[in-house]
Every structure is written in C-alpha cells, then in structure tokens.
Amino acid sequence: MPTPSENTLFGMGNPLLDISAVVDKDFLDKYGLQPNGVILAEDKHKELFDELVQRNKVEYHAGGSTQNSVKIAQWMLQKPHKVATFFGCIGTDRFGEILKKKADEAHVDAHYYQQNEEPTGTCAACITGDNRSLVANLAAANCYKKEKHLDLDSNWELVEKAKVYYIAGFFLTVSPESIFKVAKHASDNNKIFGLNLSAPFISQFFKEPLMKVMPYVDILFGNETEAATFAKELGFGTDDIAEIAKKTQNLPKENTKRQRIVVFTQGKDDTVATVGEKVTMFPVLDIDQNDIVDTNGAGDAFVGGFLSALVQEHSLEECIRAGHYAANVIIRRVGCTFPEKPDFH
C-alpha cells in the first residue's frame, strides 16, 4: 500500500476551542439545551460560556469537527508528519495561540487565516452522563474568506497537492463558496471529496448550499439522526436507514467515474454503508458501557480513522474498520483526545 506524502489529505472547517465540563439537568434546562444536541450559540447563550468556566472543572481541547478528524487521521498514520493540511479562521488571541500549538503538536499542517475583528471560536461541550450537548460560538471561525485565504496561490497550491478532501457540513454555514471551489477541483481531477451531514440543522436550514455541493460528493458521512433529517428534508418517504443510504447514493453526481459512497454511523449499532449496489452493515467494536467516558468526538474520530485508511488506498471495509477503531479509542477519553500511539493493525 502506498505511504501517503505530505499534504495528501486536505481539510477545511471551523477551528474551535472545546470547553468541556460536566453539568446537571438544571444547567441544560436553564439554557434550553437537549442532552445530545448540537446548536449554534445565540444571544441567550452568551452567559453560558462564562458560567461553564466559573462553576465547573473545565477542560480545554482543540476542537472543531473537521480539525478533529484530520488530526485523528494524522495520529492513526503517525508518519510522515503533515499528511493532513487544515484551513480555517482564528483570532489573534490566547485561544488562537492554543489552537496553533495543538495543531503543531498533532503534526497537522494548519494554515489559519488570522483576523482581529472576532475572537477565536469556542464550543461548549456540556456533559451529562454519556450525553454531550454542544453549543458552538463560531466567532472568528465564521470570518473565513475565500478571497483572503483559499484563493492565495501559496494556499491553493496545498489544495492542489491533496488527493483526498474532507469538509464537515458545519462549514456550509460559513463559506459555501470555498467548499464549492475545493469540491469542483476534486471532481474535475477525479480526486476524492468527502462531506459530513454534521447536524440535523444543516439539512434543515442550509439545504440549498448542501444540495448544491452534493453532486461533487464522493463520500457522504453522517449519523442516524442526521440521515433521518436529511431524508425528511428531501422527501425520501422512508425512515429505513439502509434505504436512505441507497437513495442518497443515487442522487445526481458530477464525476461518474466514482460511484458515491454513503456511510451512516449509529452509535453502538451497526454502521451502514453502500458497497457497490448493496447496502452493508458493519458491526462496531464491543465496549463496556462503564468504559465510555465521553461520546463527544466519536463521529469525528470515526471519519479520521476512515480517512487514514483511505489515503493509503485501503478497501472500504478496511476504512470502516479503522474508523471503528478510532471511535472506540476516543469515547474512552474526555474530549477528542488520544494516547500517544494507536494500536491498530
């Protein structure tokens, strides 16, 4: 199998600093949060961040969905360093410096667009039991500008160097034009472009840009809730996950040289994937409930593991196995963190 070279994997998204703490139901109720929700912060959530930091033992982790995934892909690969490139926008502040340092420690080739209008974005992970409610305050992450960063020759050269591209659907709320440019480049050059449904609100409120990029998507990721919402928004008329995967695979596609692959995870239940004309179930690794520390980042980790096998040109089955391994490691730890080396064969 080929060893991937530097900048083979390209990711672009919202770099956020995760602020995670264990809270109680009263805290969730006070801010109108679902135990397993994913939302963008509104004005009513401004105090939430302050309260979280003041009242609880807080952990800070470099986060943001796409950044998590490319970091885990790099961790799974180990060598060479900087197989993964990452673009996103941060502020000129302490949190921004932490993100730079963390990306560096993870050996990811991060090229941030830095601006001083908005502070670095944060994501509150409010943990109750084995649930986590995420509230993202995008701030700087929302300020990514195609013409100020992606279009610069030195940056676009890094895009051209890549063979595999991955962007979480969350970035559709920030810079759809950047996503289109990268997705079209991948499609025109028969390279692989992956996208994640990311959260139900993306299919609900950002359906137009989502469907505009869909013809360029070679691999679509999502979980069972996101898949169900996507199916509802598109009027598939079914809540059977295998059928949703099949219908999604058959949506219009630009590059007909590659059949679209659809991969839906379902927590502890089997992962559903389209394999050629069939839909196949892949059981996840067994884990004792008591060993689950924090499910935050499990989906990102799955994608990271998957991508690490994909850039080595492994089979779909192997990519899913690597994804299951990475997710199994991550849920035993707080935040999207990992041990020094993977133990994956």
Which are the catalytic amino acids?
A: 300
C-alpha to C-alpha distance for 21 and 321, rounded to whole angstroms: 30
Residues 6+ apart with CB under 8 A from 56: 21, 22, 23
β-sheet with 38-40: strand ranges across: 38-40, 131-137, 122-128, 16-22, 59-63
Task: Outline where 166-315 has alpha helix (H).
Answer: 176-188, 200-205, 207-213, 224-233, 241-249, 298-310
DSSP code of 88? E
H/E run at residue 127: strand 122-128
C-alpha to C-alpha distance for 155 and 157, rounded to whole angstroms: 5
Residues 96, 60 contacting (CB under 8 angstroms)? no
Q: Is 271 helix (H, G, I), strand (E, B) or coil?
A: strand
Residues 151, 175 contacting (CB under 8 angstroms)? no
C-alpha dist (Å) from residue 15 to 210, 243, 268, 280, 332: 20, 34, 27, 33, 23
The count of other CB atoms within 10 Å of the CB of residue 69 is 34
C-alpha to C-alpha distance for 172 and 175, rounded to whole angstroms: 6
C-alpha dist (Å) from residue 159 to 4, 142, 240: 15, 21, 37
